[in-house]
Structure 1
Amino acid sequence: MPSRHQAGAAPAEGRTRILDRAIIGGRRFLVGLSASRAMSCGAGTWLTALLFAATGIYGLERGGHMPTAIETVRDMGDAAANLAGFRIANVNLSGQNHVTPGDILATAGVKPTSSLVFLDAEGARTRLEELAWIKRATVQKLYPDRLDIQIVEREGFALWQKDGKINVIARDGTVIAPYSDDARYIRLPIVVGDGAEKSVVEIVEALSLVPGVRDQVRAAIRVADRRWTLKMRNGIDVRLPERGLVDALQQLAVLDKDKSLLSRDITIVDLRLPDRVSVRLSDAAYEARQAELKARAKAKKGSNT
């Protein structure tokens, strides 16, 4: 099996072989025609020019200079179009917030020397939509000299922590940017672990229906890409079921309201089973509970004697 490098090089090698055959075949054809008295002077001139052009393209391809040559031809076309009055003199940008105007123009391929005629609007739109922050872009050419670029940016929906790194993600899980101390990100919910970015809408929308619980959550941890465990601000872990997420959260809210469950000296609340709620005491609470039970047993034994 060819390596990735070899596989990537195969199309280039194929093009080279095709060009080799074209040049050799062109030369043989030209020599054959030159030997024939039927070839007119004009036809010979055009065929010679064609052969030289093919030879030039072949040399550019073999030397890896084709992109530079294409850029040079484009610059020449822009220069001619600009002289004819089609220089991009006005650029109207709208909708950008996180992406800078410089990044937008550079990505769209707009330079001070660009002309409206030779700007590829569809290619510019495609490249803009490859930027993480940009959800949708519209590029319109308004002749003779105006370019309109409208941007719809993605919004930060949550913070995703994985492998010690925190990124801002969009609603669809797209990583937008590394987290920074920006005021816009401080109140975003935090999700943690593999698969958390793909299921972020599920947990965020479920918590939004139970604000009494949501406001106590520090982070939501994705477990085995199947269910969630909530890490509360006071250190308690709340293990949620795979299904019935909203029902479990509402049950937790009732228990906290009626019995102050989330204020007790516990470490884990397990809601994974629909017919029961299990809790685990902290070490200190467990020892205190054991001491209390021993004291009761001792008192009961003394009263019986």
Structure 2
Amino acid sequence: MSQRTRLLDRTIIGGRRLLVGLCTSRAVFTGAGAWLTAALFVATGLYGMERGGHMPAAIETARDMGDAAANLAGLRIANVNLSGQNHVTPGDILATAGVKPTSSLLFLDAEGARMRLEELAWIKRATVQKLYPDRLDIQIVEREGFALWQKDGKINVIARDGTVIAPYSDDPRYIRLPIVVGDGAQTSVVEIVEALSLVPGVRDQVAAAIRVADRRWTLKMRNGVDVRLPEQGLNDALEQLALLDQQKSLLSRDITIVDLRLPDRVSVRLSDAAYAAREAELKAKAKAKKGSSS
């Protein structure tokens, strides 16, 4: 049983007891008694609507009646000023705020409208002001797309705080956003994006940053090389990588993995072709050395 139903139950029972008390004490049935009887009938009606599931429709009807009366008094919402919206359409804003062609300024719940607007993914902050007699101002501060987050084969645009804003589309505003992948990547996205911004030479070669066990990052480079980064010392590892690439063209070599997880060494894994070529070269050198010594 809902709290509203329990309250109505108590109201009806209490009203009936009071009415019986008035009758048994031979109280004069004056205007006060009439008001009590009317209140009891109203409570009984509300109780019946609650039990019958008609309460939402009844509330909506009562609101429409109130709006109609307020509109006749000159309090119809005639002007709505919207500002700050870019991704959210005016229609979505008005519908979420509960503003209809028949809405009155008097009965619009500005605080409720603000709270509903801020539940929309794109909206970070909203302000709703009623300016009597007929003007409504709604100011929107939208979230900005900060990165693309891929998980379970789906790509979404996320805000700086990791909030999922919208599914990815071919919108030109999204094409250059960095891509992060995996569980936890959305909540740690600022860490990797800001760290890569300090090494633009490396950043521009990154296809995606993959979150591993929600502890560290692996960079997937555009040429297929994986760069395994440490849990601690992320910025130092990226600076080291940038220096090695600048001085030795590390990321352009025929390798598959660069491992920077240990602070005192850099490990590199050759591609299969490079490894086979390396082995053949070593065997040729060993053979030549053996021949020269015999």
Alignment TM-score, normalising by the size of structure 1: 0.93
State the one-letter code of the partner of 1:137: A
Shift of the alpha carbon at 1:15? 4.2
State the one-letter code of the partner of 1:190: I
- Say which of 185, 205, 214 aligns to 2:174: 185
Alignment of 1:181-220 (within 5 A): 181-220=170-209
CA distance in 2, matches of 1:47, 1:272: 78
- Say which of 20, 28, 33 aligns to 1:44: 33
Q: Classify the secondary structure of the residue corresponding to 2:77.
A: coil
Return structure 1 stretches of 4+ with deviation > 4 angstroms. none
CA distance in 1, matches of 2:7, 2:247: 80
Deviations along 1:17-60, whole A, 9 cap, x unmatched? 44334324433432342233233343432222122111111111
Cα pair 1:34 1:44 within 8 Å, conserved: no
Q: Classify the secondary structure of the residue corresponding to 1:86.
A: coil
CA distance in 2, matches of 1:304, 1:220: 52
Q: Classify the secondary structure of the residue corresponding to 1:185.
A: helix
2:73 is aligned with 1:84: yes
Q: Classify the secondary structure of the residue corresponding to 1:119.
A: coil
State the one-letter code of the partner of 1:146: R
2:264 is aligned with 1:268: no
2:8 is aligned with 1:19: yes
- Say which of 128, 132, 142 aligns to 1:139: 128
Distance 1:121 1:290, change over 3 A: same
Alignment of 1:50-89 (within 5 A): 50-89=39-78
CA distance in 2, matches of 1:110, 1:21: 35
CA distance in 2, matches of 1:45, 1:159: 66
- Say which of 100, 103, 124 aligns to 2:92: 103
2:115 is aligned with 1:93: no
CA distance in 2, matches of 1:197, 1:226: 13
Q: Classify the secondary structure of the residue corresponding to 2:173.
A: coil
State the one-letter code of the partner of 1:67: P
Cα pair 1:240 1:272 within 8 Å, conserved: yes
CA distance in 1, matches of 2:83, 2:6: 48
2:155 is aligned with 1:166: yes
- Residue 282 of structure 1 corresponds to which residue in structure 2? 271
CA distance in 1, matches of 2:243, 2:34: 92
Structure 2: which 5+ runs fail to align? none
State the one-letter code of the partner of 1:267: T
Q: Classify the secondary structure of the residue corresponding to 2:16.
A: helix
Q: Classify the secondary structure of the residue corresponding to 1:220.
A: strand
CA distance in 2, matches of 1:109, 1:24: 36
Deviations along 1:153-187, whole A, 9 cap, x unmatched? 00000000011100000001000000001100000
CA distance in 1, matches of 2:13, 2:140: 50
- Residue 238 of structure 1 corresponds to which residue in structure 2? 227
State how many pairs are aligned. 294
CA distance in 2, matches of 1:64, 1:202: 50
Shift of the alpha carbon at 1:245? 1.2
Distance 1:72 1:159, change over 3 A: same
Among all aligned residue pairs of Structure 1 and Structure 2, give the percentage whose two residues are the same amino acid.
Answer: 87
State the one-letter code of the partner of 1:38: A
Q: Classify the secondary structure of the residue corresponding to 1:269.
A: strand
Shift of the alpha carbon at 1:201? 0.5
- Say which of 220, 236, 242 aligns to 1:247: 236
RMSD: 1.3
Q: Classify the secondary structure of the residue corresponding to 2:87.
A: coil
State the one-letter code of the partner of 1:108: A
Q: Classify the secondary structure of the residue corresponding to 2:174.
A: coil
Cα pair 1:96 1:153 within 8 Å, conserved: yes
- Say which of 262, 279, 282 aligns to 1:293: 282
CA distance in 1, matches of 2:102, 2:112: 18
CA distance in 2, matches of 1:233, 1:158: 17
State the one-letter code of the partner of 1:202: E
